[in-house]
């Protein structure tokens, strides 16, 4: 087992550090940035289904559902196709309205999640075309779907999903870009810019790993005894807030909630006092000014602010108790970077609390029962 961990203390940490290469493996042969090409066999063969879809319905569970939420933002923004995202466990039992003009995307690392599998079967019965985004080759979900694209992240052993999340987002972003090209919904220059930016994401993830790990460890020592944490983000980084909170609760057993930052004033703000760590994802792009005013609201209630900011940011630095700087990328691709310090923060907190990081209590790597 020590050998399999490749010198890391835990599989989770190894898998966090594998992300630059995992993302490269995901887009290898599919993203040819200099030639302006994005191609995935499973998508090319069925692209008409996507282009004529009334809408895309995404079904998944847990972290994969969070990747689906990122995809909702990216596909709608780039390709202008309506997207809905649903927990597979809800979808399968609520008699959903699905028809043959719908495309269903099922996302699953393991390809064995019982609820996702059942949702796929239901969607197929109703005549939808079902596309899988899976990691495990030959898994039940990859066999049950009509077509799909593998993430090629390599085996993920840690129960807490890390590289599966970022590689799912990579595949889904490539799908969005390919559809945008076919539909002409992105300008040529934007399309080429996103391809170039996606190509350098592995380097930026590597930079984020190198530059944020120590800081995450230092912050972890300060907050390891917290009983609650709030994670806030907006736009593309709202799902990252949910994912950050899930990561913390599953491996450290600290209660955590993710919220869209603006929703805070509709309830969670009542929780904020000097005991409450609030992790705010505040990269310079997107809704930066809005997030800064959310940070001010937390500060005026004495919450402890940990902010994930773009390198060189000065405004948030003046307000937050701790800042974690990450490399800059465009808003739509930022979840691939902002998620890195949140994974590391959860990891270090869990280690400091003496938790079983790779096999947290009550959890299984794939949930094959409902
Ligand atoms: C994430 O850290 C969890 N282990 C869990 O939420 C997981 O993402 C979920 O069970 C879905 O699994 P799947 O991707 O294998 O379908």
Q: What is the mean pLDDT of each run of 10 residues along the chain (370 residues)?
A: 86 97 97 95 96 96 98 98 96 90 96 95 95 97 96 94 98 98 96 97 98 97 95 96 97 96 89 93 90 92 94 93 96 97 98 93 85
Q: Is 133 helix (H, G, I), strand (E, B) or coil?
A: strand
Q: What are phi and psi of 343, to 5 degrees?
A: -60, -45
Other beta carbons within 10 angstroms of residue 93's beta carbon come to 13
Paired strand residues for 255: 228
Distance 31 CA to ligand 1 centre (A): 26
Measured by CA distance, the residue closest to atom 6 of ligand 1 is 62
What pLDDT was estimated at residue 106? 98
Measured by CA distance, the residue closest to atom 5 of ligand 1 is 62
Distance 111 CA to ligand 1 centre (A): 10
Q: Is 183 tagged catalytic?
A: no
Distance 64 CA to ligand 1 centre (A): 6
Structure tokens that stand for 301 in this block? 């209630």
B/e letters for 212-244, b = 16+ CB within 10 Å, e = fewer, are bbebbbebbeebbebeebbbbbbbbbbbbbbbb
- For residue 141, the ligand 1 atom closest to its alpha carbon is 16
Structure tokens that stand for 342 in this block? 């949140």
In which region does residue 102 sit, left (phi positive, over 0), alpha (psi from -120 to 50) or beta (all else)? beta
Distance 368 CA to ligand 1 centre (A): 11
Distance 63 CA to ligand 1 centre (A): 5
Q: Which of 282, 168, 166 is nearest to 235 (CA)?
A: 282
Paired strand residues for 269: none
- C-alpha span between 238 and 242 (Å, rounded): 7
Burial class, 274, CB count within 10 angstroms (exposed 0-12 / middle 13-18 / buried 19+): exposed
- For residue 62, the ligand 1 atom closest to its alpha carbon is 6
Mutate to test the pocket of ligand 1, among 71, 87, 113, 163 (most ligand atoms within 8 A of CB): 113
Distance 160 CA to ligand 1 centre (A): 8
In which region does residue 222 sit, left (phi positive, over 0), alpha (psi from -120 to 50) or beta (all else)? alpha
Residue 267 contacts by C-beta under 8 Å, 6 or more apart in sequence?
none
> What lines the ligand 1 site, CB under 6 Å?
61-64, 108-110, 113, 116, 159-161, 250, 366-367
What pLDDT was estimated at residue 97? 92
Contact indicator for 229, 247 with CB cutoff of 8 Å:
no
- For residue 363, the ligand 1 atom closest to its alpha carbon is 4
183, 224, 284, 365: the active-site residue: 365
Contact indicator for 321, 306 with CB cutoff of 8 Å:
yes
What pLDDT was estimated at residue 269? 87
Q: Is 113 helix (H, G, I), strand (E, B) or coil?
A: coil
Residue 346 contacts by C-beta under 8 Å, 6 or more apart in sequence?
160, 244, 247, 248, 251, 252
Structure tokens that stand for 162 in this block? 């890390």
Q: What is the DSSP annotation of 313-335? A: --TTTTT-SEEEEE----GGGTH
- For residue 365, the ligand 1 atom closest to its alpha carbon is 4
Contact indicator for 281, 308 with CB cutoff of 8 Å:
yes
Q: What are phi and psi of 308, to 5 degrees?
A: -95, 115
Contact indicator for 338, 283 with CB cutoff of 8 Å:
yes
- For residue 60, the ligand 1 atom closest to its alpha carbon is 16
What pLDDT was estimated at residue 369? 82
């Amino acid at each position: 087992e020590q050998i399999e961990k490749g010198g890391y203390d835990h599989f989770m940490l190894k898998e966090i550090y594998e992300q630059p290469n995992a993302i490269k493996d995901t887009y290898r042969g599919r993203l040819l940035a200099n030639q302006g090409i994005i191609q995935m066999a499973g998508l090319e063969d069925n692209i008409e289904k996507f282009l004529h879809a009334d809408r895309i319905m995404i079904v998944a569970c847990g972290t994969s559902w969070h990747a689906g939420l990122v995809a909702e933002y990216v596909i709608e923004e780039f390709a202008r196709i309506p997207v809905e995202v649903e927990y597979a466990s809800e979808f399968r039992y609520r008699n959903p309205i699905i028809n043959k003009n719908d495309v269903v995307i099922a996302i699953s690392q393991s390809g064995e999640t019982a609820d996702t599998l059942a949702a796929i079967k239901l969607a197929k019965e109703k005549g939808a075309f079902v596309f899988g985004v899976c990691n495990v080759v030959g898994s039940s979900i990859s066999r049950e779907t009509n077509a799909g694209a593998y993430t090629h992240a390599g085996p993920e052993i840690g129960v807490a999903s890390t590289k599966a999340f970022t590689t799912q987002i990579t595949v889904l972003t490539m799908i969005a870009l390919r559809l945008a090209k076919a539909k002409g919904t992105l300008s040529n220059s934007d399309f080429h810019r996103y391809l170039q930016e996606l190509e350098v994401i592995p380097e930026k993830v590597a930079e984020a790993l190198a530059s944020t790990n120590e800081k995450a460890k230092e912050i972890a020592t300060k907050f390891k005894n917290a009983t609650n944490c709030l994670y806030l983000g907006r736009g593309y980084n709202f799902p990252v807030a949910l994912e950050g909170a899930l990561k913390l609760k599953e491996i450290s057993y600290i209660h955590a909630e993710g919220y869209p930052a603006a929703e805070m004033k509709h309830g969670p703000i009542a929780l904020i006092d000097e005991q409450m760590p609030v992790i705010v994802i505040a990269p310079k792009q997107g809704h930066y000014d809005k997030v800064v005013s959310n940070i001010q609201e937390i500060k005026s209630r004495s919450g402890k602010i940990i902010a994930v900011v773009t390198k060189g940011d000065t405004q948030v630095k003046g307000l937050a108790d701790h800042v974690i700087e990450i490399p800059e990328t465009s808003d739509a691709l930022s979840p691939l970077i902002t998620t890195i310090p949140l994974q590391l923060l959860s990891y270090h907190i869990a280690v400091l609390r003496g938790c079983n990081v790779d096999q947290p209590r009550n959890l299984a790597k794939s949930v094959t029962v409902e």
